Amino acid sequence: MVGSKADAKQLAAATSVSKNKPPKIKPDLKRAALAPSATLFLFGAAGDLVKRLLMPALCNLRRDGLIDDSLRIVGVDHNPRSDGEYADSLRDFIRDEIKNQKLDPKLWGKLAKRISYLQGDFLADATYQGIAARIKEASSGNAVFYLATAPRFFGDVVECLGKAALLQETRSAFRRVIIEKPFGSDLASAQQLNTRILNVMNEKQVYRMDHFLGKETVQNILVSRFANGIFEAIWNHHYIDHIQITAAETVGVEQRGSFYENTGALRDMVPNHLMQLLAMVAMEPPSAFAADAVRDEKAKLLGAIRPTMPDEAIANSARGQYTAAKIDGRQVLAYRSEDKVERSSETETFVALKLMIDNWRWVGMPFYLRTGKRLSARDTEIAICFKPAPYAQFRGTKIRQLKPNYLIMQIQPNEGLWLDFHAKRPGPTVEIADVDMGFSYADAFELQPSTGYETLIYDCLIGDQTLFQRADAIESGWRAVQPFLDAWAKGEGAVEGYAAGSAGPKGADELLAREKRSWHSLG
């Protein structure tokens, strides 16, 4: 019995909480150290990457109190403009073009004071003399050079930085370089780029960017695997039948026809994004959650991918290219009709691969990777398909064979973790229904708008390389896909058309059907 009004209020509050969803968990920012004073040089300052992703990320880091007024931002590009003109152009773009980014005038005012601009050719000595002068003017000798440029400039810019002695570190000043993808276009070019970079700086200074790794749900793969005892015992080929990794997009090549013609779906997505997801879902537990320990295990895993023999490359892959179709009543162009695309192009906009990993945990168990444009749903996920129960013990019912259970790690959209399983359908007879239970990031956590670059920029500033790719891992990723590129270069494995808005070419389905498997449905 309630003895007082206070007791009554307390009981009412408790009852109210129990009837409603628990409050969302807020991010814990207090434990994160403030990034040290530094100058951040943005090469390619006028490009889309800086305007659309990097500057909003820096705004968010300032909002969260992870950087302060000691961080100076210098845009470097060839077009003439003043400091004020550059800062205003960034502000206007974020305010007018980034829909989910609220630009706090007070916050922006503080950040804008730290933004300046340096006009210069990426290959001219005078540009690097100007950079040296900007560092000398700063209160700290720390500098980060972010190469948000076309890939052809990566090696040249790093060598110019080295020639100008801008990569030399001291006990009191660090020098770091962030390099965007794509890192090479095949194994040979990736090896060559690594050689050029490591000739003028050491691996500890190189931060090879893969923005997928900045997503909370990607980082959650390691936490889900290694912080929950229920998973480790069954995380192997004894209980898992196969694993699928998917990165599906509904958009076409948009305005990137020229880029895509020289790249294709495999080069664009597989050696970087999908290989990183593969490494995180399949690596061995690291000895500690420190950069070297995590990156060691990733490199071991990628190095254990079984080499695909030339005669296996076509059998273990499928290529597709989207064709014209109507989607939601709107006519969509075929890839070959897109701007700056060859009308007889054989570039793939979809690729599916089968890979094997030769270690004790995964021996004999396939991994299937697929990625494509103009598909039926936007869906980046890892689908872990468990072996079905060995025997359907339901005599006298319609049940003859049980379907496998899936654990879905959803990267985007609707980020979360989902497990589907079987349950009895209500009623007098035994019938099985497929049900699921899951965890949604949006329901459980209070999420702030982000671009995915916040964590990665912050980690570089504090010197944490955990989420950045190492030279050996980059090369292992390219080594795994090189046999497919070689086979296609010889004219083998024709590109198969698939209707825009579909799930991809028939060849991708046949890749799994040959072993009595099927893709987890998109969306």
- HSE-CB at 305 with a 13 A cutoff on CA atoms is 28
Q: What does the alpha-carbon distance between residue 407 and residue 405 come to, in Å, rounded to a whole number?
A: 7
Six token digits for residue 202: 């050491």
Dmax (CA) for the chain in angstroms is 85
Q: What does the alpha-carbon distance between residue 59 and residue 62 come to, in Å, rounded to a whole number?
A: 5
Q: What does the alpha-carbon distance between residue 370 and residue 407 come to, in Å, rounded to a whole number?
A: 18
Nearest to 341 by CA among 423, 252, 446, 276: 252
Nearest to 406 by CA among 442, 432, 437, 375: 437
Radius of gyration for the alpha carbons in the chain, expressed in angstroms and rounded: 25
Nearest to 109 by CA among 131, 90, 132, 137: 90
In this structure, what DSSP letter does residue 335 have?
A: G
Neighbours of 49 (CB within 10 A): 17
Nearest to 273 by CA among 232, 214, 203: 214
Q: What does the alpha-carbon distance between residue 415 and residue 452 come to, in Å, rounded to a whole number?
A: 13
For residue 228, which phi and psi values (nearest 5 degrees)? -125, 110
C-alpha distance from residue 267 to each of 12, 185, 411 (Å): 59, 7, 20
Residues in the chain: 523
- Please say if 273 is a catalytic residue: yes
Nearest to 160 by CA among 71, 75, 43, 54: 43
Q: What does the alpha-carbon distance between residue 373 and residue 456 come to, in Å, rounded to a whole number?
A: 26
Catalytic residue among 237, 273, 422, 520: 273
Six token digits for residue 157: 């810019």
Catalytic residues: 273
